[in-house]
Amino acid sequence: MSLLLVFSVALVLAVLLSCYARQSILSAAVLFLAAGIMVGKGVFGASMPNRELLYRMAEVALFAVLFTDGMKTGGLTEIKRQWHLPGRALLIGMPLTIAGIAILGHFLIGLSWPPALLIGAALSPTDPVFVSSIFGIEAVPERIKYVLNIESGLNDGMSLPVVMILIAVIDRGKQSALGIVGQLALGILIGIVIPWAAQQLQRISFFGAAGVFERLNAFAIGLLVLTVSQALHANLFLAAFAAGVTTASLSASAAVAFHDFGELIAELLKLAALLIFGARIANVLLTAMPALDYIFAALAAFAVRPVAIWVAMLRTDLPANEKLTIGWFGPKGFASVVYALMILRMGTEQAEHLARLVAIAVGGSIAIYSSTDILVGRWYERRANARELPSKAA
Whether the Cβ atoms of residue 300 and residue 330 lie closer than 8 Å to each other: no
369/326 Cα distance (integer angstroms): 12
Range with the poorest average pLDDT among 45-49, 137-141, 182-186, 385-389: 45-49
Confidence bin at 325 (pLDDT 50/70/90) = very high
How does DSSP classify residue 129? Answer: G
Confidence of residue 333 (pLDDT cuts 50, 70, 90): confident
More confident residue, 294 or 391: 294
* Section 123-141 average pLDDT: 79
Mean of per-residue pLDDT scores for the chain: 84
Burial (Cβ within 10 Å: 0-12, 13-18, ≥19) of residue 5: exposed
- Phi and psi for 138 in degrees, rounded to 5? -65, -30
Give the pLDDT band (50/70/90) at residue 390: low
Q: What single letter denotes the amino acid at residue 125?
A: P
Higher pLDDT: 283 or 241? It is 241
Tell me the range of 27-31, 216-220, 224-228, 380-384 where mean pLDDT is highest. Answer: 224-228
Give the residue, 232 or 71, on which the prediction is more confident. Answer: 232
Q: What is the mean pLDDT of residues 367-385?
A: 82
pLDDT digits (tens, 9 = 90+) for 204-249: 777 766 666 777 888 899 999 999 999 999 988 889 989 999 998 9
In the chain, % of residues over pLDDT 90: 30
pLDDT band at 78 (very low <50, low <70, confident <90, very high): confident
Is residue 115 within 8 A of residue 170, CB to CB? The reply is yes
User: How confident is the model over 2-20, as pLDDT tens digits?
Assistant: 778 888 988 898 888 777 6
Given a cut of 60, whether residue 21 has pLDDT beyond it is no
Say if pTM beats, i.e. exceeds, 0.85. no
Residue 168 above 60 pLDDT? yes
103: how many CB neighbours lie within 10 A of its CB? 15
Count the helix, strand and coil residues of the chain and give each as a percent rounded to the nearest 5.
80, 0, 20
- The rounded distance, in Å, linking the Cα atoms of 226 and 265 is 15
Query: What average pLDDT does range 193-201 have in this prediction?
Result: 92
Task: Provide the pLDDT for residue 189.
Answer: 96
User: Is 45's pLDDT higher than 80?
Assistant: no
- Domain 3-393 in CATH 1.20.1530.20? The answer is yes
